[in-house]
Amino acid sequence: MSLTLLNVIAAVVIAVGFAALNAAYLVWAERRGAARIQRRPGPNINGPLGLLQPPLDGIKLMAKQLTIPGGADRALFIAAPVLAMFPAIMSFVTIPFSETIVARNMNVGVLMIFAFAAMGSMSLLFAGWSSRNKYAMMSSIRAVSQAVAYEIPMLITTITVVMISGSMDLMEIVRQQSGSILHWNIFPIFGNSHNLLMPFSFLIFFTCTLAETNRAPFDLGEAESELVAGFHTEYGSMGFGLFFMGEYANIVIGACLTTILFLGGWNCPFGLFPGVWWFLLKIYLLIATFIWIRWTFPRTTIYGLLNLSWKILIPLSLFNLLFTAGLLKVF
């Protein structure tokens, strides 16, 4: 009993550590990546390659005063940044990094991650509502309508994958993709997907991940040219820092989920030994793609974004689901 408890505590500590480190150093990676794309040096003063920038930024943020605007809803205002970080960390508990490295595997892992992802948009709503700022309010309304619009095609696409593998267990989903690169869910026909539309499912899922994590070109929640800084306009100090870290932790979760559902998890593409390094390589490649997209594309409009979801992605993913169900019945 006590051993199980210790296990759980260790799992949570490792998950928190991984999430926090990733969040901090993805900020660094993002800034370096953006700088490279924009032909400027980026942070390079503190430490080699500017690697000490994230801890120093953290110290700076912690040293600042947390101001709460007059008339703000204090409880919600303080709760919102915590709520932004917490679901992302919780999701790490169930993500399998390899056959052996998983904090706590459960047979409804997919469900749990989506449940926590849905909580993320609540923190945006709290932040926008409690700030008593019109920009923050508008931004949080945007963010919530966006989250609702993009969770639906994302879930439907996930159901497609779950139907193929017949399990909501993340480890089981990865195990079924083992063998060779052609068994990955993203590729049609081979493996057990038997589905020509799987590449499209991957694209839908990837787009939804971008939108779900409020990344450009779907970063309407914090459209700085319209809404100043969006829902975190009134936040300073570590409140802002937590929102920031939560955003990056969510990106890691999105990349992990995409890797597990479509890119074969820890499986090696060439039939070499599988392992955690392959998993990390895949998620960081996906994250690099996120960064690349963010610094290349302008922002979409809110109606363009909602139209894309309701008129294109949802019908497509529904059709995909139907098609997959039919295929599963036939084969």
Partner 1 sequence: MNSPIQLQPDETFILNVGPQHPATHGVLRVKMEMSGEYIVSAETVIGYIHRMHEKMGEIKTYPQFLMNLSRMDYLGALGYSHGHVLLVEKACAIEVPERAEYLRVVMVELNRIASHLFWFGAFVMDLGGFTPLMYALQDREHILDMLEAVTGSRLTYCYFRFGGLYNDVDDQFITAARTFIPRMRKSLKKYRRLVTDNVIFRKRLTGIAPLSPEMCRKYGASSAVARGSGINFDVRRNEPYSVYPEFDFDVPVFHAGDSLARYMVRMEEIEQSLRIVEQALDKLPDGPVMAAKKPKLIKAPPGDYYQAVETARGSFGIRLVSDGGKTPYRLKLRSPTYSNMHLFDEACQGMLIMDALAFMGSLDLVIPEIDR
The residues binding partner 1 (CB under 8 A) are: 34, 37-40, 134-135, 138, 142, 216-217, 219-220, 223-226, 228, 295-304
> Which residue, 31 or 282, is less far from partner 1 as judged by CB?
31
| Residue 226 beta carbon to partner 1: minimum distance, rounded to whole angstroms | 5
Q: How far is CA 133 from the centre of its chain?
A: 27
**Orientation of helix 53-63 relative to helix 2-37, angle to 10°:** 100
**For residue 118, which amino acid is it?**
A
Residue 16 sits at the vertex; the CA angle it makes with 172 and 269, to the nearest 5 degrees, is 40
| Residue 183 beta carbon to partner 1: minimum distance, rounded to whole angstroms | 34
> Which residue, 26 or 257, is less far from partner 1 as judged by CB?
26
Q: Are 314 and 156 in contact (CB under 8 A)?
A: yes
> Which residue, 35 or 318, is less far from partner 1 as judged by CB?
35
| Residue 312 beta carbon to partner 1: minimum distance, rounded to whole angstroms | 13
| Residue 201 beta carbon to partner 1: minimum distance, rounded to whole angstroms | 22
> Which residue, 33 or 265, is less far from partner 1 as judged by CB?
33
177-209 core/surface letters (b: 16 or more CB in 10 A; e: else):
bbebbebbbbbbeebebebebbebbbebbbbbb
Q: Are 149 and 95 in contact (CB under 8 A)?
A: no
> Which residue, 198 or 223, is less far from partner 1 as judged by CB?
223
| Residue 228 beta carbon to partner 1: minimum distance, rounded to whole angstroms | 6
Distance in angstroms (rounded) separating the CA atoms of residues 146 and 154 = 12
Distance in angstroms (rounded) separating the CA atoms of residues 308 and 220 = 14
| Residue 59 beta carbon to partner 1: minimum distance, rounded to whole angstroms | 26
> Which residue, 145 or 178, is less far from partner 1 as judged by CB?
145
Which one, of 84, 95, 109, lies nearest residue 14 by Cα? 95
